């Protein structure tokens, strides 16, 4: 055998050829080297060693094949999962359209629907579901929207022509504040989801966003325009027609939590923060203690999250899923989401000091894993000593009085 | 001498600077909406201009480490929302500020006239004598300038503020103004320390009997 080997080595190229013949696929050049005989000027490999090397090499090839097979299986599985997901979205669309939406009143609270709801509403029916869930307590009609919009346009005209005769029916805020807020809407529109490039000047939804925000300041001059609103309106515009978006927008902002925040009612905001802290301590006692020790009050991160309903701080698709369940469960879900975020990042946060926590929470990582994120929210119990969110809040409001 | 970020260069975060700073200051950024507070902080942090920044809601936070005069400084920068409605939220943070950056936009007379309002907020809410840096932003938009440099200088002199004009877009005077502020904060801190050492007990006693 040894003779044979050394004999072969004298013929150029033969070892390689030999190797290639025996193997049914091309080895990488580095692994092939293992099978090369030593150069002629060095003593030849002992047969034993050559055998060992061949064996090792074959093992490597087997491993590599296994790995490749595994990868292929994984890819296949991913593809299957994607198909399954697409199928399930397709099925969900059918269920929503054919079964749930026509029987909204009777079905919306059923367990089956609630479960389907948690999975995320398919984008094609999302707007409809949001509209129904938010409701129209204020009885706003499309005509009322047109009237408010016409009034807003009048104001803009009188502002741009320098006419000082701005109607003075607006209660509570100075004329300067109102003018500034109309001006501010213009500036803020281009700063709303700037990466999407659809709300900027010249973008397809620029005027729509402008109209809805302007109409709202005429509809609710006592609230006016507050920074953060442009994000809420934008998310609605992405899912609803203009007038319906306005109706949902006005009704959404009319909810107690949103009213408290957008009117910057400090007393009420503090009540919300206090209620949040009750559940924070209950669910994440260690992190709660760490935050307390660092003087990290909830206002520092909650203000941004609540004002924009997470649309600014979470990736848009995740934010929409949070909105889905927010429409189902109401304000408590906003605070449950906050606790879900804190839980998801608990390990990192416990190692940070005040300013780094604040920095982290106001600039959440962009690649938030959606399934882990919702698992983390699901793990949050909105029950504290047998008391639910609404009860805790009510007690705190009572205490404040 | 300025170790990091001498004339012109942006001060970089060196690992030494972030470890165990010699001094730590809370700095609050205020000023009208859209004058460029967040852009300024972005420039300071990433040394580029980001035209796609969103409006600040409530407060944002950032840490900046600097080495100035061979000392390590950690700045906790508090970025606030400019809209009037949010002022009551911002005001709660005035007391915690060791220094204030008051920004206006040189292309907006309106934002400059509001500086007076902001100064009264500082007077009301912050510690007496808190170091203030007045910043006129957007020098890159020279063609649209509405507020002459002289006006800014005059106002700064009148109220004894440190003053710079800068541009978050071009980077002009961004690090320089921060280094200036750090020096001012250091001087102020030393002054406070000296004061505390000079008259160690009487003020506390006085407080005690007043209460």
pLDDT, tens digit (0-9, with 9 covering 90-100), for B63-122: 999 999 999 999 999 999 999 889 888 988 898 899 999 999 999 999 999 999 999 999
Give the architecture-level CATH label for domain B23-194: 3-Layer(aba) Sandwich (3.40)
Best A186, A187, A362 residue to mutate vs chain B (most B CBs within 10 Å): A362
Interface residue A363 vs chain B (CB under 8 A) = yes
Question: Which among A187, A307, A354 is the nearest to B58, CB-wise?
Answer: A307
Give residue B52's pLDDT band: very low, low, confident or very high (50, 70, 90): confident
* Residue A35 pLDDT: 67
Which residues on B lie below 8 Å from A227 (Cβ)? Answer: 33, 55-57, 81-83, 85-86
CB contact A298 to B (< 8 Å):
no
**Predicted local distance difference test score (pLDDT) of residue A28:** 56
Q: Which residue segments constitute the domains of chain A, with CATH numbers given?
A: 52-119 (1.10.10.750), 134-161+173-249 (1.10.8.270), 258-400 (1.10.472.80)
Average model confidence (pLDDT) for chain B? 86
* pLDDT tens-place string over residues B114-155: 999 999 999 999 988 999 999 999 999 999 999 999 999 999
Asked if the interface predicted TM-score (ipTM) of this complex is over 0.90, the answer is no
Interface test with A, best of B20, B42, B53, B57 (most A CBs within 10 A): B57
Out of A191, A230, A304, name the one closest to residue B53 (CB). A191
Cα separation, B203 vs A133, whole angstroms:
61
Partner B contacted by A226 (CB < 8 A): yes
Evaluate if residue B13 carries a pLDDT over 50: no
- Smallest Cα distance from B84 to chain A, Å: 8
Q: What is the pLDDT of residue B58?
A: 86
pLDDT of residue A173: 54
Q: Output the tens digit of pLDDT for each of chain A's 401 residues.
A: 444 444 444 444 444 444 444 445 555 555 566 667 777 788 887 888 888 888 988 898 999 999 999 999 999 999 998 998 888 888 899 999 999 999 999 999 999 999 999 999 999 999 999 999 999 999 999 999 999 999 999 988 887 776 544 444 444 455 556 666 778 898 899 999 998 999 998 999 999 999 999 999 999 999 999 999 999 999 999 999 999 999 999 999 999 999 999 999 999 999 999 999 999 999 999 999 999 999 999 999 999 999 999 999 999 999 999 999 999 999 999 999 999 999 999 999 999 999 899 999 988 998 899 999 999 999 999 998 889 999 999 999 888 77
Chain A touched by B187 (CB under 8 Å): no
Q: What is the pTM of this model?
A: 0.80
């Amino acid at each position: 055998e040894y003779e044979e080997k050394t004999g072969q080595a004298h013929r150029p190229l033969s070892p390689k050829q030999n190797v290639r013949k025996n193997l049914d696929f091309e080895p990488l050049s580095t692994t092939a080297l293992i099978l090369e005989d030593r150069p002629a000027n060095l003593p030849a490999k002992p047969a034993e060693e050559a055998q060992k090397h061949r064996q090792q090499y074959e093992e490597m090839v087997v491993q590599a094949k296994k790995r490749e097979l595994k990868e292929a299986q994984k890819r296949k599985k991913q593809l299957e999962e994607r198909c399954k997901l697409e199928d399930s979205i397709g099925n969900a669309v059918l269920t929503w359209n054919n079964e749930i939406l026509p029987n909204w009143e009777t079905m919306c609270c059923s367990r089956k629907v609630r479960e389907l709801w948690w999975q995320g509403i398919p984008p094609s029916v999302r707007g409809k579901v949001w509209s129904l869930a938010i409701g129209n307590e204020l009885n706003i009609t499309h005509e009322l929207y047109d009237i408010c919009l016409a009034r807003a346009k009048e104001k803009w005209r009188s502002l741009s022509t320098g006419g000082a005769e701005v109607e003075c029916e607006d209660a509570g805020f100075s004329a300067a504040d109102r003018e500034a807020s109309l001006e501010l809407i213009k500036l803020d529109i281009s700063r709303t989801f700037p990466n999407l490039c659809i709300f900027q000047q010249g973008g397809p939804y620029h005027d729509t966003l402008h109209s809805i925000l302007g109409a709202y300041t005429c509809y609710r001059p006592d609230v006016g325009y507050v920074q953060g609103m442009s994000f809420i309106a934008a998310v609605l515009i992405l899912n609803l027609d203009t007038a319906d978006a306005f109706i949902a927008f006005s009704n959404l902002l009319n909810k107690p939590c949103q009213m408290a925040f957008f009117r910057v009612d400090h007393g009420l905001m503090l009540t919300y923060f206090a209620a949040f802290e009750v559940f924070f301590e209950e669910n994440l006692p260690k992190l709660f203690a760490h935050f307390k020790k660092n003087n990290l009050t909830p206002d520092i991160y909650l203000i941004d999250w609540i004002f924009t309903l997470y649309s600014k701080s979470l990736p848009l698709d995740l934010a929409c899923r949070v909105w889905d369940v927010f429409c189902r469960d109401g304000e408590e879900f906003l605070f449950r989401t906050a606790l879900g975020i804190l839980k998801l990042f608990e390990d990192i946060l416990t190692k940070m000091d005040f300013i780094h926590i604040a920095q982290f929470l106001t600039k959440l990582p962009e690649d938030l894993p959606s399934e882990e994120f919702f698992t983390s929210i699901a793990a949050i119990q909105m029950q504290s000593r047998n008391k639910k969110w609404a009860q805790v809040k009510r007690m705190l409001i009572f205490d404040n009085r | 001498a300025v170790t990091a970020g001498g004339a012109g260069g942006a001060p970089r975060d060196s690992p030494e600077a972030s470890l165990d700073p010699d001094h730590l200051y809370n700095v609050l950024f205020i000023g009208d909406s859209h004058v460029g507070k967040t852009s300024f902080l972005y420039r300071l942090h990433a040394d580029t201009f980001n035209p796609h920044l969103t409006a600040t809601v409530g407060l944002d936070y950032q840490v900046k480490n600097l080495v100035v005069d061979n000392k390590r400084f950690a700045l906790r920068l508090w970025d606030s929302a400019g809209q009037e409605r949010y002022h009551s939220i911002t005001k709660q943070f005035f007391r915690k500020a060791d220094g204030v950056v008051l920004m206006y936009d040189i292309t907006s007379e309106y934002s400059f006239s509001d500086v007076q309002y902001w100064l009264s907020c500082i007077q009301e809410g912050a510690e007496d004598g808190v170091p203030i840096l007045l910043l006129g932003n957007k020098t890159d938009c020279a063609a649209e300038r509405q507020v002459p440099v002289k006006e800014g200088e005059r106002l700064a002199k009148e109220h004894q503020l440190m003053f710079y004009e800068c541009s978050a877009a071009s980077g002009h005077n961004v690090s320089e103004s921060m280094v200036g502020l750090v020096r001012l904060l250091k001087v102020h801190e030393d002054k406070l320390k000296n004061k505390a050492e000079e008259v160690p007990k009487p003020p506390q006693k006085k407080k005690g009997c007043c209460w």
